């Protein structure tokens, strides 16, 4: 195949054979010399590969975030910060160097939040904490046609450290040119453990009774299933399946030690570029192919309006908003949702993290009133199904200008070796029926659970 190189030229390379020695020596020398001269951020043109998770090594901190327009994978950590204190973490990383007229986006930090800060005390989520944003030591990014690699160091490197970084570059490049990881590609699900449906029915009835008493307008109920696998499953394999099965969703992953939180979500929380923001309301669900029932369902339309109204209330102090008068349908391979697109113009230079804090949790994952629903989830749901952790919470990236994009981490799970846990939720209003909500959550589970096994 013909593969673009760091220096902008092309060479015929068979997959897995590595770079021609002269090209690798030339580009590696330029990279090393830039680091020796004090550069702390170096961006290089790179080979394009269809799945950015190929950039991951078998072990170590790593992440993925993006879609077909811009997909990124990060390896290692140059700088980290608590998600609530991360707004200024990209400052002070000059000077920068870009080789070969690289058309790469600005330097970015990636990461996520816990749904509730208290979720971090759950042993299952202990390594993830209440939220974390990181600047990867290495980031690989790919658009539909081009790709780049970025290296970041907080402090200038010594000559020996610069030489070591050059070896890291060569190893990263070799991974891109090798075949995708297949570890655990034949692994199968051997058991799915979950509380009985009767317990879910009691949970839903308690919520609808509280709504009838006027204590809440909506509460999102989520349940967990625990999966046993026939062997150790590589998260890179799961990410590749998610990319194939859900090409119009946003993939995300965060690997900490032996555990990886990952998924493919249909729901955008917020994006901001300059003074323009975009968000959406995504609430009301039905099986794929049954979208017309949502357009006439009073229950689903009511649930959707609650989300639209809450987003408007959260964002109007920051921006002038425009939104569709009526919801449309968002079709996915396994489910269809009611969808309302929302656009806004910010009143001032607001950091995207401030907008994330204003929105989370939206009624699509929390409820109305916000605090009443949050208290219900933190007490009654947690007692039955455990902490949500990073499920249904913001996950995304922001750049040095305060622009960025965050999604809601749905259709997701926590993978650790030969076991996994997954979560799925439903918006409960007064007219909700336990059996229908159980079926809806089962539909949503299929997105993540289906990626744990080879396609049938």
- Report whether 43 contacts 97 (CB < 8 A): yes
Options 32, 132, 267, 280, the catalytic residue: 267
- Say how far apart CA 95 and CA 361 lie, in whole Å: 38
Give the DSSP letter string of 194-237: ---HHHHHHHHHHHHHHHHTTS-SEEEEEEEEEEEESS---HHH
59 is catalytic: no
Containing 1, the helix (H) or strand (E) segment is none
Annotate 312-322 with b (16+ C-beta within 10 A) or e (fewer).
eebbeebbeee
Containing 435, the helix (H) or strand (E) segment is helix 434-449
Report which of 284, 418, 308, 440 is spatially closest to residue 362, judged by C-alpha positions: 308
| CB proximity list for 211: less than 8 A, separation 6 or greater | 217, 218, 219, 428, 429, 430
- Report whether 218 contacts 363 (CB < 8 A): yes
DSSP state of 422: E
| CB proximity list for 435: less than 8 A, separation 6 or greater | 201
- Report whether 248 contacts 264 (CB < 8 A): no
Q: How many other CB atoms are found less than 10 A from the CB of residue 451?
A: 28
Options 32, 132, 218, 272, the catalytic residue: 218
Tokens of 293: 């029932």
Q: Is 328 helix (H, G, I), strand (E, B) or coil?
A: strand
- Report whether 427 contacts 391 (CB < 8 A): no
- Report whether 348 contacts 305 (CB < 8 A): no
Tokens of 8: 């902008």
- Report whether 217 contacts 429 (CB < 8 A): yes
- Report whether 115 contacts 130 (CB < 8 A): no
- Per the rule left: phi > 0, alpha: psi between -120 and 50, beta: everything else, 151 is beta
Report which of 173, 172, 169, 141 is spatially closest to residue 157, judged by C-alpha positions: 169
267 is catalytic: yes
- Say how far apart CA 202 and CA 205 lie, in whole Å: 5
Report which of 427, 354, 428 is spatially closest to residue 394, judged by C-alpha positions: 354
Active-site positions read 218, 267
């Amino acid at each position: 195949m013909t593969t673009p190189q760091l220096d902008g030229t092309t060479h015929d390379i068979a997959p897995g054979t590595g770079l021609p020695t002269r090209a690798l020596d030339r580009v590696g020398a330029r990279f090393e010399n830039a680091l020796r001269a004090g550069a702390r951020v170096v961006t290089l043109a790179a080979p394009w590969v269809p799945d950015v998770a190929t950039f991951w090594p078998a072990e170590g901190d790593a992440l993925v975030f993006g879609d077909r327009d811009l997909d990124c994978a990060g390896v290692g950590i140059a700088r980290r910060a608590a998600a609530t204190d991360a707004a200024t973490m990209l400052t002070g990383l000059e000077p920068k160097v870009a080789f070969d007229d690289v058309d790469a986006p600005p330097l970015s930090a990636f990461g996520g939040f816990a749904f509730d800060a208290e979720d971090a005390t759950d042993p299952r989520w202990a390594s993830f904490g209440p939220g974390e944003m990181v600047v990867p030591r290495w980031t690989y990014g790919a658009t539909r046609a081009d790709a780049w690699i970025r290296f970041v160091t907080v402090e200038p490197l010594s000559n020996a450290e610069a030489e070591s970084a050059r070896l890291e570059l060569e190893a990263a490049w070799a991974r891109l040119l090798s075949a995708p990881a297949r570890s655990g590609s034949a692994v199968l699900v051997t058991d799915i453990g979950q509380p009985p449906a009767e317990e879910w029915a009691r949970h839903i009835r308690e919520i609808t009774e509280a709504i009838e008493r006027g204590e809440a307008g909506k509460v999102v109920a989520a349940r967990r299933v625990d999966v046993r696998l026939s062997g150790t499953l590589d998260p890179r394999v799961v990410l590749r399946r998610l990319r194939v099965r859900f090409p119009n969703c946003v993939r995300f992953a965060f690997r900490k030690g032996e555990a990886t939180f990952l998924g493919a979500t249909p729901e955008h929380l917020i994006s901001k570029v300059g003074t323009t923001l975009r968000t959406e309301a995504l609430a009301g669900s039905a099986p794929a192919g049954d979208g017309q029932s949502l357009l006439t369902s009073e229950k689903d339309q009511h649930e959707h309006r609650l989300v639209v109204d809450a987003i408007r209330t959260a964002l109007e102090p920051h921006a002038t908003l425009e939104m569709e008068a009526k919801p449309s349908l968002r079709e996915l391979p396994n489910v269809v949702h009611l969808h309302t697109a929302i656009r806004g113009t910010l009143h001032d230079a607001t950091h995207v993290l401030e907008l994330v804090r204003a929105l989370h949790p939206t009624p699509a994952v929390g409820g109305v009133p916000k605090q009443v629903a949050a208290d219900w989830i933190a007490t009654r749901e947690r007692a039955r199904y455990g902490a949500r952790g990073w499920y249904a919470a913001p996950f995304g990236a922001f750049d040095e200008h305060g622009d960025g994009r965050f999604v809601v981490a749905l259709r997701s799970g926590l993978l650790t070796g030969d076991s996994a846990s997954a979560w799925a939720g439903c918006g409960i209003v007064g007219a909700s029926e336990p059996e229908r909500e159980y079926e809806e959550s089962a539909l949503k589970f299929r997105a993540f659970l289906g990626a744990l096994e080879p396609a049938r």
